[in-house]
Amino acid sequence: MTQSTPRVAIVTGGSGGIGRAVAERLAADGMTVLVHYAGNPARAEETVQAIVAAGGTATAARADVADEHEVAALFDEAEQRYGGVDVVVHTAGIMLLSPLAELDLDDLDRMHRTNIRGTFVVDREAARRVRRGGAIINFSTSVTRIALPTYAAYAASKGAVDAMTLILARELRGRDITVNAVAPGPTATPLFLEGKEQSVVDHMASMAPLERLGTPDDIAEAVSFLAGPARWINGQVVHANGGII
């Protein structure tokens, strides 16, 4: 791929945690980044300022990922501001945990809307707009294989992400666009650590042969690979979990 202008990336959920690490890494790789957020403009602006301070180019934009009109406007902004879209990384999602027998169906519906419908909406727009040589990267979870108790509804929503990832890769035949998903294992983000006893954190850290939790930068490393040099990896779910399973 030879382009005279920087490649342009949209990172959903780019205001914190893994999304912020991804946005900063892609900017460090030389991409111009549109940092998407849903409800926290201050944190999104912190991500933008960190990228700019490091010499990169970024702006923030809000959208409800499950609203097709707002997502279309997000892509419009990237095209109008930067000339097009080359990479879409969809990290935005929610995780609500409960044993299946005690599941609040309202929580199931919330995760369905954000994690499944949201991925469909973002992927649909990406499939229509990403330029040749581009990459679409969804976010799954290693819990689809690890099968931890209380994660049934969340893992089910991410199982849907796996399915649409593999199928979209095949539907984009001839477009020179890769479609993959990254499936993190336990990762030391504030969201993950919140409310967990240290014994639980220690147990999850011990699950990997590398004997530690992942970091947001570990996950961003995998995204950077898929977004850039990994042109022959396509239609895959890449488990970035330190070898848990």
pLDDT in tens, the chain (245 residues): 445 689 999 999 999 899 999 999 999 999 999 999 999 999 999 999 999 999 999 999 999 999 999 999 999 999 999 999 999 999 999 999 999 999 999 999 999 999 999 999 999 999 999 999 999 999 999 999 999 999 999 999 999 999 999 999 999 999 999 999 999 999 998 878 888 889 989 998 999 999 999 999 999 999 999 999 999 999 999 999 999 97
Question: In the Cβ-directed half-sphere of 201, how many Cα atoms lie within 13 Å?
Answer: 14
Residue showing tokens 């679409």: 136
According to CATH, the superfamily of the domain at 8-240 is: NAD(P)-binding Rossmann-like Domain (3.40.50.720)
At residue 166, the pLDDT reads 98
DSSP symbols for 88-133: EEE---------GGG--HHHHHHHIIIIIIHHHHHHHHHHHHPPTT
Strands across the sheet with 178-184, in order?
Answer: 58-62, 32-37, 8-12, 87-90, 135-139, 178-184, 237-240
Is 154 among the residues known to form the active site?
yes
In order of 35, 57, 184, 215, 233, the CA distances from 49 in angstroms are: 11, 9, 26, 21, 32
d(CA 184, CA 45): 25
Catalytic residue among 37, 82, 151, 154: 154
At residue 195, the pLDDT reads 80
At residue 2, the pLDDT reads 47
d(CA 61, CA 34): 7
Could you say which DSSP state residue 189 is in? Answer: -
Question: Which residues neighbour 186 within 8 Å (Cβ) at sequence distance 6 or greater?
Answer: 192, 204, 205, 207, 208, 213, 214, 241, 244
The domain ranges of the chain are: 8-240
C-beta separation of 170 from 235 below 8 A = yes
C-beta separation of 131 from 89 below 8 A = no
Residue 184, beta-bridge partner list: 240
